[in-house]
Chain A
Amino acid sequence: SQQGEEDPQALSIQEGENATMNCSYKTSINNLQWYRQNSGRGLVHLILIRSNEREKHSGRLRVTLDTSKKSSSLLITASRAADTASYFCATLRWGSGNTGKLIFGQGTTLQVKP
């Protein structure tokens, strides 16, 4: 089963508005990462937030992490049509031999209308 679950599954907004996407997870984490995927392409890393951090910024992106609620949110401010993409959160699951692997949620599809 997927570790991270995004909400909503789909979001449609007008250019200039803010977009907020949420991610919930079940087990304790080392870090949580957000990725973006343009249609038909690979994923691109946006932000990594460690478990001891509560908020992180990168340009128009703001990520928050609440470990007590096992949730994170990604806020895109002043959205642009070029922000249209799918957004995924990913959390680390520990495997055998002390190795870790990133597990992705199903993603939020964001459409920004010009």
Chain B
Amino acid sequence: DVKVTQSSRYLVKRTGEKVFLECVQDMDHENMFWYRQDPGLGLRLIYFSYDVKMKEKGDIPEGYSVSREKKERFSLILESASTNQTSMYLCASTPGQGYNSPLHFGNGTRLTVT
């Protein structure tokens, strides 16, 4: 079974801090994604990566950056955390072109910025 592991289930950070959310998958998937989930807004795509060192903006990239130095790891970075980034963050991966393959999700990181 594919395993997607997010390093923290819960995280509390202060406004202005630099925050790193880590995601690791163990199935050699090419594609990795970061979504945020908010009540009433569903899942929104922040960034995705289809190869090492490659990244592409999703629908809401402002205030975020990403890093993919190794195939198995995709990091989401909040350069200067703000309270409106309090949310549930979900990482996912899928193989190859991914168009006919399901996404495999981690269990999420619930981030609170105070």
Contact = CB atoms under 8 A, between A and B. Distances in A.
16 contacts: A31-B99, A33-B102, A33-B103, A40-B110, A41-B108, A42-B90, A43-B90, A44-B105, A48-B102, A88-B42, A90-B103, A99-B48, A101-B45, A101-B48, A102-B45, A104-B43
A103 interface: yes
B103 A45 contact: yes
B80 to A, nearest CB: 26
Nearest to A46: B102
Contacts of A101: 33, 45, 48, 56, 58
A30 interface: yes
Interface in A26-61: 30-31, 33, 35, 40-45, 48, 50
Interface in A48-97: 48, 50, 88, 90, 92, 95-97
Interface of A: 2, 30-31, 33, 35, 40-45, 48, 50, 88, 90, 92, 95-97, 99-107
A97 B98 contact: no
Nearest to A103: B45
**A interface majority secondary structure:** strand
A40 B108 contact: yes
Among B100, B101, B102, residue most surrounded by chain A Cβ atoms (within 10 Å):
B102
Nearest to B108: A42
Contacts of B56: 95-97, 99, 101
B42 A106 contact: yes
